[in-house]
Amino acid sequence: MLTSIRARRGRPILNRLSALLDSLKIGSQRRRARQRSVQTALTSELLEQRTLLTGLIGIDLGGVNTPTNWTSFSGTVDTTLTNLTDESGTSTGVDVFVDVDSMPGNYDNFTPSAVPIHTQSLTGVDRMYFDVGGINFDFSNLTPNQNYEVYVFGGDSIADTQRVTITGDTETQFSYMHGANQMFVNRELSDAGRTLESYAEIMESTASGTMTVRMDSAGGFDFNLMAVAIREVPSNTIFTVSSTADSGVGSLRQAILDANASTTPATIMFEIPNTDGGFVDVDNGSGLPGADADADVFRIQPLSGSGNLPALNNVNGHPITFDGLSQASFGGDTNPNGPEIEIDGSLFGANGHGLIIDGDNVTVQGFAVNNFSVLGILVTGDGDVVSGNYVGTDATGRSAAPNMVHGIQLSGATNATIGGTTAAEGNLISGNTGTGL
C-alpha cells in the first residue's frame, strides 16, 4: 500500500504541515511508542543472531606455524578430532574424522606466493600433505541443513592436478591444475588482493548435521592438500554505524559499502554515542511535547568531496535492512517527535541525493532525509520498502527542510512499498520543492 503526504509548492506547505501535525500529534506519539516496542524485539533478535554465529573452523595440514586457533593435523592414520575450536578460541562441539588412505602420504614445506586477506594472517598455512590416493574430512555435529562456507587450500612447489569433492545435502566437485609455487583456494588461484570470503564454496549440511570434504589426485601423480576450513553462514550480518562522520570506520558511508559486499543478508544498525559531535538539538523553543535544550538527533551530513552516499545494492543479491530505529534501542528515545537519525544534505551542494536504493529487497526505515539538492530517496529496485521516515521535514516533522526536486522518486522500481498497512509504517513526506512521491 502506498501512503504519502504530497507537498504543495511554496509557503502554504508550512501552514498545512503545522495544522496536520497538531491534529495528528496524539497518533504520532502512539506510533512512536509502537515503533519502540517493535524495534526492541527486532534488535534483541538480531543481537541474538550475532551472538550465536560461529567463527571459521580451520584444520592446518602438517602445521608448524598454524594460524591462531586453527587445529594442526600431522597424522598419517585415521584420526578423530573432537570439539574443534573456531578462530576466536571458542569450542564449537564440531568433530571431524580424518580418513587417510591405507597407503599414507607425507608432509612437506611449501610457502605459497600469495595468500588471501583474512581477519587474521593465513601465512601459517605453509605446509602440505601429499599422496597419490585421497583423504577425507568427515565433519559431524554441524547444524542440520545449515549453509556453510567451505574452503579447501591446495598447492605445491611443483605443478600438479587434484580434485575436490564436497558432500553435504548435495554434492559438488571440481578439479584444477596448480602451477609450481601456486596455492588454490577452492576453484581459484589465491590472490593477495582478495578476501578469503570471496572464495567461499557454499554447501548445506545434511539433515543429520554432517558434511564430507575429500581431496584426491584425480588420476594425476599426487594431490597436495594444505588446509581445510568451514564456517556456518550467518542468517544475518550486522554492520554498525557508530559515528556521524562522513567517511571512515563507523561511518554510514562505510557501513553501506560493507553491507553491499556482504555474503549474507545484512542489517545496518545505529549505535552512536551521545558524545558524538553530530548529536544536536532540534526542538528547543518549538513548543512540542518533550521539547528542551538537550540534544535530540544524530545528524549525518554527506560531503560533496566524497560523492553521494553509496547506493544500497548488495552485489550478491541479499536483502539489506537499513534501520534508523535501532538508534533509540541503543541510546534511548532522544527525539520523541520523530527519528533519531537525520541524513541532511545541506553541506553537499549540487547533484545531491539522500538515499539511493538500487538493489532488490532493501528496507529503509526510521530516518529524516532532508535538504538535498535533488532527491530525498530514489528507489529503482524490486521489492523495496520505505517506511516510517520523515522526508522533506526536519526531524521533528514541524518545519519544512525541503529536498529540492522530489521527496521520494520511483524510477523503474517494481513491487515497491512506500509506507505500509499500519500507522507505524507511514512516512511523513512533505515540504519538498517538487512532488512528495
Identify the CATH number of the domain in which residue 159 sits. 2.60.120
Residues sharing a CB contact under 8 Å with residue 152, sequence separation 6 or more, in sequence order = 164, 166, 185, 186, 201, 213, 215, 225, 227, 228
Q: Which among 246, 338, 221 is positioned nearest to 290, based on CA atoms?
A: 338
Using the predicted structure, report yes or no on whether residue 16 has a pLDDT greater than 50: no
Residue 156 and residue 266 in one domain: no
Average pLDDT, the chain: 86
Residue 217 and residue 241 in one domain: no
Domain final position from 183, 199, 232: 232
Residue 244 and residue 351 in one domain: yes
| Cell numbers placing 249 | 570506520
> d(Cα 205, Cα 144) in Å, to the nearest integer?
6
Q: Which pTM does this prediction carry?
A: 0.55
pLDDT the model gives residue 417: 95
Domain final position from 232, 262, 281: 232
Provide the residue type at 96 as one letter. V
Domains contained in the chain, number: 2
285: number of Cβ within 10 Å: 9
Average pLDDT over residues 26-38: 37
> d(Cα 328, Cα 336) in Å, to the nearest integer?
10
Q: Are 106 and 129 in contact (CB under 8 A)?
A: yes
Structural domain span for residue 132: 56-232
Q: Percent of the chain, pLDDT > 70?
A: 88
pLDDT digits (tens, 9 = 90+) for 58-70: 999 998 899 999 9
Q: Which helix (H) or strand (E) holds 109?
A: strand 106-109
| Residue 89: burial class (beta carbons within 10 Å; 0-12, 13-18, 19+) | exposed
* Distances 25 to 31, 125, 289 between C-alpha atoms, Å: 10, 62, 9
Q: Are 23 and 15 in contact (CB under 8 A)?
A: no
Sequence-ordered strand ranges (E) for 242-361: 266-270, 279-280, 297-300, 320-323, 341-344, 355-357
Domain final position from 232, 265, 291: 232
pLDDT digits (tens, 9 = 90+) for 216-259: 988 778 899 999 999 998 778 899 999 999 999 999 999 999 99
Confidence band, pLDDT 50/70/90 cuts, at residue 321: very high
**Residue 435 domain flag:** no
Please report, for the chain, how many H helices and E strands are present, in that order: 3, 30
pLDDT digits (tens, 9 = 90+) for 270-286: 999 999 999 999 988 88
Using the predicted structure, report yes or no on whether residue 19 has a pLDDT greater than 60: no
